[in-house]
Amino acid sequence: MLRTPSGGAGNGTAAADSGLMSIGSVLNALRDEFPEVTVSKIRFLESEGLIEPQRTPSGYRKFSANDVERLGHVLRMQRDHYLPLKVIREYLDALERGEAVRLPTVGRQRDPGEGELFAEPEVPAAARVGRAELLATAEIGERELEEWESYGLIAPLQDGAYDAEAVTVAALVVELGRFGIEPRHLRAMKAGAERDAGLVDQVVAPLRRHRNPQTRAHAEARAKELAGLTVKLHAALVQTALGVRLP
């Protein structure tokens, strides 16, 4: 049996017996933990090779208990760790082969115990997603993504793909939207982030221009350190202004 990313067993989304389930039954089984999951999302995950349900002679999908458990893992890893589907697929496939693998760390992650967001220091090169996968992961349409891009919240790379941070931003924009905060409201945050980045760049620019390669390499480490400090300061200032304290 697959294990959850946190090391525990599955949480009961799989059917208790070995009987096959229709896609509607799977939807009902998952909906308690994943209320926003849809038939379209399940079909997309199948098309991406995350699950392989059986088919009846008439073409209907039939899911085993293992299929449902694997679906739960995929949705949980997307929700809690913002992992691209390619990374999730490789991780779960490695587990099924019996390999001892660690949960990948990509972009930002949510600590299920504290609900806190924190930045990972490195993003694997494989953590790139196409436009279709970004739309499916965020469960948005082309029109919404185009709006986000028009506000500068998300931007594709030169080859048209998106990096791990774009996946993180998309997930957070969706979460904020549940509270009625629209993408247009986030333009001020984007502008503030650019000002913070400009300040960090001023500090490390002399190091980046240095002739010594080791000094230039140190500039990148210093930039990451300063970026982390500005994120912490911003969070503290927001909490102070609101008079609240996060867990």
The burial class, CB within 10 Å (0-12 / 13-18 / 19+), for 164 is: buried
Phi, psi of 95 (to 5 degrees): -65, -40
How many domains is the chain partitioned into structurally? 2
Q: Same structural domain for residues 38 and 111? A: yes
Q: For residue 52, tell me if it sits in a domain.
A: yes
* Amino acid (1-letter code) at residue 179: F
Q: For residue 2, tell me if it sits in a domain.
A: no
Q: For residue 143, tell me if it sits in a domain.
A: no
User: Which of 97, 119, 141 is the endpoint of a domain?
Assistant: 119
The whole domain housing 36 covers: 23-119
- Picking from 81, 121, 165, 99, the residue whose alpha carbon sits closest to that of residue 90 is 99
Tokens at 204, concatenated: 């490390």
Q: For residue 56, tell me if it sits in a domain.
A: yes
Q: For residue 125, tell me if it sits in a domain.
A: no
Tens digit of pLDDT per residue, the chain (247 long)?
Answer: 444 444 444 444 333 345 899 999 998 999 888 888 888 888 888 888 889 999 888 888 999 998 999 999 888 888 777 777 878 888 888 888 888 777 765 544 444 444 433 333 333 444 678 888 888 878 888 999 999 999 899 999 888 888 888 888 888 898 888 888 898 899 888 888 888 888 888 888 888 887 887 777 788 888 888 888 888 888 888 888 888 776 5
Q: For residue 77, tell me if it sits in a domain.
A: yes
User: Which of 119, 136, 159 is the endpoint of a domain?
Assistant: 119
- Picking from 112, 107, 156, 113, the residue whose alpha carbon sits closest to that of residue 135 is 156
What does the alpha-carbon distance between residue 37 and residue 57 come to, in Å, rounded to a whole number? 27
